[in-house]
Structure 1
């Protein structure tokens, strides 16, 4: 019998059918399966190894972060050195004090004066480490806290369809609803306008996400917004 051997590490990203381990000493769990003496992945996911048990955290519908991406995050926690940020991904994101503001933030400062738990921010990814940690920055044009408005979360793979060719789709929604719309590359979208217009814009975005494969979608969305506006 072949000696048991682990072929991946904790936090590795794997694709369906990828070999995770050989031998009978390891046990398959969520998102993995055994084929003879091998354990394989059944989906795109993030590897989690707990002793001899191998499982996957699914990444379909989740964002895979890249350095340079501009995303919308939600402040999840505050500690002595900065803020932990939710990014619609399986990764942990941190915004440090030095990257949170152009102003100097002294040690011991009340960090809630800058960002509180629950705040949404438009931020930029400056680094993604091999341990799947994300470093964020608020230093850059347009990066800011997003006050009020409405948040819509979509499958990140549908972001290009929401934006459209040369920004045509999102521009049409903005112009038709008079809303300010920011599309994060992580699939989190911020909409701000009159409440009824925010609702129409968010519904239009959900239709695009659902029907992204349909031809003539721009006209369909245009007609939808017009019909909603006259109600």
Structure 2
């Protein structure tokens, strides 16, 4: 093949590619059903109001999509279709279509937010904390709650800062001051704030968190005994609500005249205590694991995370074991109730705006 023939062949290929790309763009923008010529809808970037598909009987609409009616130019009969309600990336999970929204994965601090952070550095009179923001936050020694008494911090307190909080410690605190041009300042003056002990840390996108009246949530019903701290920065903490170990309860001992019988009875009671404690610990750990997996499921389905949606997922996964809750094929099933709650809230908000 000569150079001229090669050049002409490449130009023809480029011309064909341009035509195919332009036809796809026009079909996607105009909302024509003929644009559905792909075997999978995953991976498409959509904008608010963009046409997704007219095969409503084949697909289920999930987060970020809405069912609407439109009329073809050549027909007067309305046809139902799925459209996007936000900008993002389209995903297909089986027959479920949902949109991963374009969002800030990092936290944008607001004064008064309850957050969880990890100590990264000690300064002269402050601690630096990673709070999943663009820069570390600062917790000053003057903003810390000292045990038993509140007083002015001294040089002696500065020498003992590492005994209070050291590198790697997890703290729950409140945003005291958040200004764009300055570092975020935190405070732990209340007794509910401070260092976290044993528990589970779950990290999600900060944009999925919702502000509530109470971010220290003691779970009700079957999950009584579990506490969840809903950090607005996307860090959630799951631990024991109160020390409910049955070993703390005193059992009445049957006293006998002989010391040997009392010693044997005490040993049996201790063994019973240990068995009950182990069973209770296993049950509590299973509850905490299920709560953790419910939060992960909401995160994978891009559904806002707050107390009601967590309970919805837990109710929808009662028949599943904890390890099966995060499987891809089960996510649409256990998150259906939570997704329906969000869609109802969106419709109510749209109705309020239209009434105004």
TM-score bin, normalised by smaller chain: 0.5 to 0.7
Alignment pair present for 1:159 and 2:209:
yes
- The structure number with the bigger radius of gyration is 2
Q: Answer yes or no: is the 8 Å Cα contact 1:62–1:90 preserved in 2.
A: yes
Aligned residues: CA RMSD: 3.2
Partner of 1:129: 179
Q: What TM-score, normalized by structure 2, do the two folds share? A: 0.42
- Please give the residue correspondences for 1:215-230 in structure 2 after superposition, counting only pairs within 5 Å: 219-225=312-318, 227-228=320-321
- Please give the residue correspondences for 1:51-90 in structure 2 after superposition, counting only pairs within 5 Å: 60-90=104-134
Structure-2 separation of matches of 1:149 and 1:189: 10
- Residues paired across the two proteins, number: 168
Q: Deviations over 1:105-137 (max 9, x none)?
A: 422422111111111111111112342410111
The structure in which a higher percent of residues are strand is 1
After superposition, the Cα gap between the structure-2 partners of 1:136 and 1:180, relative to the gap in structure 1 and judged at 3 Å, is: same
Structure-2 separation of matches of 1:195 and 1:213: 25
Partner of 1:97: 141
Q: Deviations over 1:172-204 (max 9, x none)?
A: 688437421111111110001443332221111
Partner of 1:185: 232
Q: What TM-score, normalized by structure 1, do the two folds share? A: 0.62
Structure-2 separation of matches of 1:89 and 1:115: 20
Q: Secondary structure at the match of 1:84?
A: strand
Structure-1 separation of matches of 2:219 and 2:111: 29
Partner of 1:113: 163
Partner of 2:297: 207
The structure in which a higher percent of residues are helix is 2
Aligned-residue offset at 1:143 = 1.4
Q: Answer yes or no: is the 8 Å Cα contact 1:177–1:197 preserved in 2.
A: no
Give structure 1 stretches of 5+ with no counterpart. Answer: 1-58
Q: Answer yes or no: is the 8 Å Cα contact 2:219–2:227 preserved in 1.
A: no
Give structure 2 stretches of 5+ with no counterpart. Answer: 1-102, 241-283, 325-356
Structure-2 separation of matches of 1:213 and 1:137: 30
Q: Answer yes or no: is the 8 Å Cα contact 2:119–2:128 preserved in 1.
A: yes
Q: Answer yes or no: is the 8 Å Cα contact 1:156–1:187 preserved in 2.
A: yes
Structure-1 separation of matches of 2:219 and 2:137: 32
Q: Answer yes or no: is the 8 Å Cα contact 2:137–2:184 preserved in 1.
A: yes
Structure-2 separation of matches of 1:63 and 1:87: 8
